[in-house]
Amino acid sequence: MTSERRFALALVAPALAAILLVAVFPLGWTVWESLHRHDLRMPWLGRPFVGLGNYAEILRDGRFRGAMAHTATFTAVTVALELLLGLFLALAMNRAFRGRALVRAAVLVPWAIPTVVAALLWRFLFDSQAGVVNAALTGLGATAEAPVWFVDGTLAWVPLVLADVWKTTPFVALLLLAGLQNIPGELYEAAAVDGAGRWGRLRHVTLPLLRPAILVALVFRTMDAFRVFDLVYVLTGGGPGTATETIALYTFNTLFQNLRFGYGSALSVTVFAVTFALAMIYVRALGTGPAGEGR
Amino acid sequence: MLPPTAVLRRPARAARVLATALLALLAACGGDAGGDGVRLTVSGSALGKEGEVLRRQMARFEAANPGVRVEVQQTPDDATQRHQLYVQWLNARVGRPDVLQLDVVWTPEFAAAGWILPLDRYGPPRADLFPASLEANTWRDTLYALPWFMDVGMLYWRTDLVPTAPRTLDELEAQARRARPGTAPPRRGIVWQGARYEGLVTVFLEYLGGFGGAILTPDARVAVGSPEAVRALRFMRAQVARGGIAPREVLTWHEEEARFAFQNGTAVFMRNWPYAAALLGDTAESRVAGRFAVAPMPAAPGGRPTAALGGAQLAVNAHSRHPDEAYRLIAFLTAPEQMLERAAVVGQYPARRSVYADPRLEAALGLPVAGVLDVVEAATPRPVTPIYTQLSGILQVHLHRALVGETTPEAALAAAAREMERVVERTGIRRVQR
Amino acid sequence: MRGRGAGPLATAALALLVAFAAFPFAWALLASVTPEAELFRGGGVLPERWVADHYRALFATRDFWVPIRNSLVVAGTTTAFCVTVGGLAAYALARLDFPGKAPVLGLVLAVTMFPQISIVSPLFLLLRGLRLIDTYPGLVLPYLTFAMPLTVWLLVGYFRQIPPDLEEAARIDGATRWQALTRVVLPLAVPGLATTAILTFIYCWNEFLFALSFTLGPDRRTVPVAIALFRGQYQVPWGEVLAASVVATAPVAALVLAFQRRIVQGLTSGAVKG
């Protein structure tokens, strides 16, 4: 083994050890559970091994399909919005202007508020009687009658998406800002000399060099959006009906309300598989996985 | 090969330092402090006045039982969060808390899972308990928990707007329409909890009983698709539809939103739990202090006034190391004297019949005892089965869909009945339940 | 783009976004000094009377310092651990050649892909076996499941963007790999490290489910859990909850203000040529 390899492995070992310590048992346990029929409420049924039986049930489960559809839509919309807004904010914060520090801090505040509190805040804001949103809408004459947001299957998504975008755009913005910092100024000047306008610089200099940062932002935001729980639980509880039920909420119900640990574990493994597939797609599409080379 | 090992030394040292630090932290924490005497842990509502009265009673228990120390382990009062913690702990066979505060619908679930102890061998005061409590806390003919206090859904009505409490559902409707708050903002006839959560099922249970229906028959057959149930749901739907006596907002409301609406004087009737009475009587904050009273929810012909049973139960952790002392604590906390004290301080309705014969109760509650007893005796438990939470989840979804207008009441209840029947079949619960 | 004047449209959009970001918090601030009954009355935004009761209750009756301390310790320890340990791994992944890079990255990321709720139960069993329930390490360890992947992936990106010329130059001058790493690369990576630290810290600060599940008593509870315990069965003491959130956001905002200059150092501070 070359000295480089030894050095590398020594550097990687602690992180790997820490991860393995915390991760191997829970992940293995979940996968193992998913292969059994295990209902805590009825211990007399035992814990029989059913192989892929739970997964077959998932395929037949209409509520699962609904939850997946909701989650996928939520993920797509919020990640797209957060990326766009985050990019805009990052570009704006990259400039030198007075009060920049304060703007940065102000922009980061939403993310610093505990999720449960943020959800409560937004529920308040969209309350049909006491909420500011409806007061503004009726005050400005935009609608005659104040809508009851959480009672309509489509409208209920608005506060959800807004709350999530509000809360996590700062994360994306900060990520992209740090990425922007790494782009040498000379490249912009060279592009300007070549006659590129603002859009041209954005397209040909900024975005390509931001690709690694965008990739990380995409991967992590997608994973988080896919697993969103606290926000939905507090804001809508999955309602009206199951219109806003996400897959994490459904899994939580299955595990801790219905105590069906086998089936709930199978749901978790399915979420994992989907998220993993998405991550792989991102890495392929954006080309520059951190382990690979080539820009 | 000196150079590579020299290189390795520095990062390896760093790693070693980190590892030692971690181990030191590990050693410093954890570990049981052994002590003499018995230490009992109670998990229960310990906020505000409830916390005060609980601590006072625990101190009296400690004085009367030397060698036993009691402490409170705070768990979230949010039912879902507390339930999740209990499931986690009990599934991991953790022995503490020794005494668990259970929501009334959890007893059969925990009993079936083997997580709480049967209490019959301690000779609990069965004769003094209300039939509804006995039913809710019995699984396979054994008593598994004692009721700490009775929560019952009931009708709050404005004494200044309505002459008497309505005796039938039609009378309720008529009175709500006739008497609207004159000067207040949005006029509402009745407010209740209609968001998609367990509270909705309790509201539905009351209308259902009022029309003579039930969710599950005693032999665990799903009865939610019956004509009585459809009538009940139609009645509720009419209330929130255009021109109905309830505002559409109730479909997003939990207990507090309804309470505030009534407290601010904008509703003639409210369906809520007993906790609201004390807050409504607060002359500083409430606009209806002294101008309301309580009554059982009325019924239609063919039904009977029904009050959904809620409240907390106390049970012994099956893995507790001191089950006998734990039961002694439960017996103490549910003794008549302690229940009377809770009534006085927190306004919770006692769960033992003998307390209602006590002349001090009226002063303690600040309400006429006869009226309270009426409601308590109308208490009806939700289906007593380990799979209740799952059934309720299904029912909530379909009820809410019908109320929101996505489907008709018939279709919603038929779908709910089918799904619930499927769950009952698949879990084979019918064979196990008595 | 840098340093040039912004169009009025861009400035307006920025102002709108900042307002969007700040408004709910400002509203929470106002609500936290409003008496409770007024909150639900649906009146105007400004309260009729201002009260400091909620803040007083926070510290007098609820001892809110303790959860803040706990959150700081847990978030701080996790961040420090992840940035150092994860940073080392990230450097290796970014710069060095060794077999199994992609699997390592994949494994590190895979941990985060399971919904938290599914690993709560087995994690509880694991921590209980290690006797770490209701301790600081008992929270730091589970937090690694999301903090470590984030740190590693972020830092890999930042390390890769530092040109290798400097390290090569240093090694030619006789430095060991370790010295090249610590003396040349790390100073340049400070903006990336600072950003990663802030992101990780806030991530941990916000975390609720693990903190709820793995702590038992008031001595180790973190801020989100403490806030969740404010509420009774039906009632949410809004004033106190909002006051607690305002108070809880302050250390984080301070941290960000302190760190944000570090983020901006950037490569153009003169170190790199060509």
Chains that touch C (3 or more CB pairs under 8 A): A, B
pLDDT of residue C270: 33
The yes-or-no verdict on residue B109 having pLDDT over 80 is: yes
In the stretch 229-258 of chain B, residues with CB closer than 8 A to chain C read: 254-257
Give tens-digit pLDDT for B115-171.
999 999 999 999 999 999 999 999 999 999 999 999 999 999 999 999 999 999 999
B chain contacts of residue C217, beta-carbon cutoff 8 Å: 73-74
pLDDT of residue B7: 37
C chain contacts of residue B71, beta-carbon cutoff 8 Å: none
Closest CB to A279: pick one of C109, C119, C145: C109
The yes-or-no verdict on residue A292 having pLDDT over 60 is: no
- Minimal Cα–Cα distance from B260 to chain C, Å? 7
CB contact (8 A) between residue A257 and residue B3: no
Assess B426–C contact: CB distance below 8 Å, yes or no. no
Q: Alpha-carbon distance A71 to A222, whole Å?
A: 10
Q: Which of B260, B319, B346 to mutate to test the interface with C (most CBs of C within 10 A)?
A: B260
Identify the weakest region by mean pLDDT among A112-121, A282-291, B66-75, C21-30.
A282-291
Locus of tokens 């559809």: A69
CB B295 within 8 A of CB B216: no
pLDDT of residue C62: 75
The yes-or-no verdict on residue A291 having pLDDT over 60 is: no
In the stretch 181-220 of chain B, residues with CB closer than 8 A to chain C read: 185
- If you average pLDDT over every residue of chain A, what do you get? 86
Q: Which of A61, A129, A152, A261 to mutate to test the interface with B (most CBs of B within 10 A)?
A: A129
A chain contacts of residue B390, beta-carbon cutoff 8 Å: 257-258
Assess A85–C contact: CB distance below 8 Å, yes or no. yes
pLDDT of residue C105: 83
**What is the pLDDT averaged over residues B40-64?**
93
A chain contacts of residue C272, beta-carbon cutoff 8 Å: 184
Q: Alpha-carbon distance B69 to B59, whole Å?
A: 9
- Name the nearest CA neighbour of B275 among B378, B122, B154: B154
pLDDT of residue A287: 57
> CB pairs below 8 Å between A and B: how many?
102
Assess B2–C contact: CB distance below 8 Å, yes or no. no
A chain contacts of residue B7, beta-carbon cutoff 8 Å: 3, 6-7
Q: Which has the higher per-residue pLDDT, C28 or B31?
A: C28
Q: Alpha-carbon distance C133 to C124, whole Å?
A: 8
Locus of tokens 């009954």: C37
- Name the nearest CA neighbour of B303 among B382, B207, B371: B207
The string over B142-179, giving b where at least 16 C-beta atoms fall within 10 Å of a residue's C-beta and e elsewhere, is: ebbbbbbbbbbbbbbbbeebbeebbeebeebbebbeeb
**What is the pLDDT averaged over residues A213-236?**
89
Q: Is the peptide bond before A240 cis (omega within 30 degrees of 0)?
A: yes
Cα dihedral: B264, B265, B270, B275 (round 10): 50
C chain contacts of residue B31, beta-carbon cutoff 8 Å: 131
B chain contacts of residue C231, beta-carbon cutoff 8 Å: 76-78
Q: Which of C131, C136, C141, C233 to mutate to test the interface with B (most CBs of B within 10 A)?
A: C233
Name the most confidently modeled range: B328-337, C48-57, C172-181.
B328-337
C chain contacts of residue B259, beta-carbon cutoff 8 Å: 234
Q: Alpha-carbon distance B360 to B348, whole Å?
A: 14
Tokens of B136: 């809710």
Which residue in C has a C-alpha nearest to residue B75's C-alpha? C229
CB contact (8 A) between residue A11 and residue B248: no
Q: What percent of chain B lies above the pLDDT cut of 70?
A: 90
Q: Which has the higher per-residue pLDDT, C80 or A118?
A: C80
**What is the pLDDT averaged over residues C181-195?**
85
B chain contacts of residue A43, beta-carbon cutoff 8 Å: 112-114
Element (H, E) at C139: helix C137-160
Which residue in B has a C-alpha nearest to residue A152's C-alpha? B404
A chain contacts of residue C4, beta-carbon cutoff 8 Å: 95
Give tens-digit pLDDT for A7-42.
889 999 999 999 888 888 898 999 999 999 999 998
pLDDT of residue B110: 97
Q: Alpha-carbon distance B396 to B393, whole Å?
A: 5
pLDDT bin (cut points 50, 70, 90) of residue A245 is very high
Global pTM reads 0.88
- Minimal Cα–Cα distance from B247 to chain C, Å? 16
CB contact (8 A) between residue B76 and residue C88: no
Closest CB to B400: pick one of A40, A148, A240: A240
Give tens-digit pLDDT for A153-197.
899 999 999 999 999 998 898 888 878 877 777 888 888 888 777
The yes-or-no verdict on residue A58 having pLDDT over 60 is: yes
Contacts of B7 (CB under 8 A, 6+ apart): A3, A6, A7, C176, C177, C178
CB C147 within 8 A of CB C78: yes
C chain contacts of residue B255, beta-carbon cutoff 8 Å: 234
CB contact (8 A) between residue C40 and residue B275: no
- Minimal Cα–Cα distance from B42 to chain C, Å? 12
- Minimal Cα–Cα distance from B304 to chain A, Å? 29
Identify the weakest region by mean pLDDT among A50-59, A259-268, C14-23, C209-218.
C14-23
- Minimal Cα–Cα distance from A153 to chain C, Å? 24
pLDDT of residue C187: 86
Give tens-digit pLDDT for B178-235.
876 554 445 789 999 999 899 999 999 999 999 999 999 888 899 999 999 999 999 9
Assess A202–C contact: CB distance below 8 Å, yes or no. yes
In the stretch 276-305 of chain B, residues with CB closer than 8 A to chain C read: 285-286
Assess B428–C contact: CB distance below 8 Å, yes or no. no
CB contact (8 A) between residue C263 and residue A181: yes
Locus of tokens 């970014």: C94
pLDDT bin (cut points 50, 70, 90) of residue A56 is very high
Q: State how beta strands B138-139 and B142-143 pair.
A: antiparallel
CB contact (8 A) between residue A116 and residue C236: no
> CB pairs below 8 Å between B and C: how many?
91
pLDDT of residue B31: 39
The yes-or-no verdict on residue B389 having pLDDT over 90 is: yes
Count of helix runs (H) and strand runs (E) in chain A: 13, 0
pLDDT of residue B213: 94
| Identity of the amino acid at B403 | L
Which residue in A has a C-alpha nearest to residue C163's C-alpha? A182
Q: Which has the higher per-residue pLDDT, B205 or C38?
A: B205
Give tens-digit pLDDT for B165-186.
999 999 999 999 887 655 444 5
Give tens-digit pLDDT for B271-291.
999 999 989 988 888 889 989
pLDDT of residue B8: 41
Give tens-digit pLDDT for C238-264.
788 888 888 888 777 777 777 766 665
Q: What percent of chain C lies above the pLDDT cut of 90?
A: 27
CB contact (8 A) between residue C141 and residue A22: yes
CB contact (8 A) between residue A101 and residue C45: no
Assess A41–B contact: CB distance below 8 Å, yes or no. yes
Q: Which has the higher per-residue pLDDT, A169 or C36?
A: A169
Which residue in C has a C-alpha nearest to residue A115's C-alpha? C206
B363 CB-contact burial (10 Å; exposed 0-12 / middle 13-18 / buried 19+):
exposed
- Minimal Cα–Cα distance from C16 to chain B, Å? 30
The yes-or-no verdict on residue C224 having pLDDT over 50 is: yes
In the stretch 236-265 of chain A, residues with CB closer than 8 A to chain B read: 237-242, 252-253, 256-259
Q: Which has the higher per-residue pLDDT, A5 or A204?
A: A5
CB contact (8 A) between residue A178 and residue C115: no
CB A107 within 8 A of CB C18: yes
Give tens-digit pLDDT for A87-132.
988 888 777 677 777 777 777 788 878 887 888 888 888 887 777 8
pLDDT of residue A36: 96
CB contact (8 A) between residue A129 and residue C39: no
C chain contacts of residue A267, beta-carbon cutoff 8 Å: 118
pLDDT of residue A24: 85
C134 CB-contact burial (10 Å; exposed 0-12 / middle 13-18 / buried 19+):
middle
- If you average pLDDT over every residue of chain C, what do you get? 82
Closest CB to A148: pick one of B7, B197, B249: B249
pLDDT of residue B401: 93
pLDDT of residue B250: 93
Q: What ipTM was predicted for this assembly?
A: 0.86
pLDDT of residue A2: 82
CA distances to A110, A130, C38, C53, C249 from C45, in Å: 20, 10, 10, 19, 22
Assess A122–C contact: CB distance below 8 Å, yes or no. yes
In the stretch 6-25 of chain A, residues with CB closer than 8 A to chain B read: 6-7, 10-11, 13-14
Tokens of B174: 């008529």
